[in-house]
């Protein structure tokens, strides 16, 4: 169990470093990752705007971050709860499965609504 947690910490640190490198080095240089779903369909996916949302949060612009993807902001407490529970328990129980299903339905509905309403 200790080895598994050590690997989890190293993976998390790597993802955090990659995100900070992307946000503070690559984006100012004009190198951004495009949304492939948007590029091929012309529709915005449930995650479109997450890069700008994260950058706004990193720069302390909390209210501005809402405008990029408020559906993901609304889902974030459930996502954080789910990650913490999975990290602590190491397994997926009934509560985690229910929250995962609810988040999936919410994010899919958000993806459809944001395109229908032009949000």
18-47 residue pLDDT tens: 888 887 888 788 888 888 889 999 999 888
H/E segment holding residue 58: helix 50-58
70-91 residue pLDDT tens: 888 889 899 888 888 877 776 7
What angle, rounded to 10 degrees, do the helices at 50-58 and 70-89 form?
A: 80
The Cα 74–Cα 37 span in angstroms is: 22
Indicate the pTM of the whole model.
0.70
Kindly list the domain boundaries of the chain, sorted by start residue. Answer: 34-116
String of DSSP letters for 84-100:
HHHHHHSS--HHHHHHH
The total number of residues written for the chain in this structure: 119
């Amino acid at each position: 169990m200790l080895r598994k947690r050590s690997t989890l910490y190293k993976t998390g640190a790597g993802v955090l470093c990659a995100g900070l490198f992307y946000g503070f080095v690559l984006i100012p240089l004009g190198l951004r990752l495009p949304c492939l779903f948007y590029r091929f369909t012309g529709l915005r996916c449930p995650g479109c705007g997450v890069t700008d949302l994260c950058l706004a949060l990193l720069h302390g612009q909390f209210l501005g971050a809402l405008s990029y993807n408020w559906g993901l902001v609304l889902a974030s407490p459930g996502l954080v709860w789910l990650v913490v529970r999975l990290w602590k328990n190491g397994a997926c129980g009934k509560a985690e499965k229910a929250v995962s299903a609810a988040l999936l339905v919410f994010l899919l509905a958000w993806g459809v609504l944001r395109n229908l309403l032009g949000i």
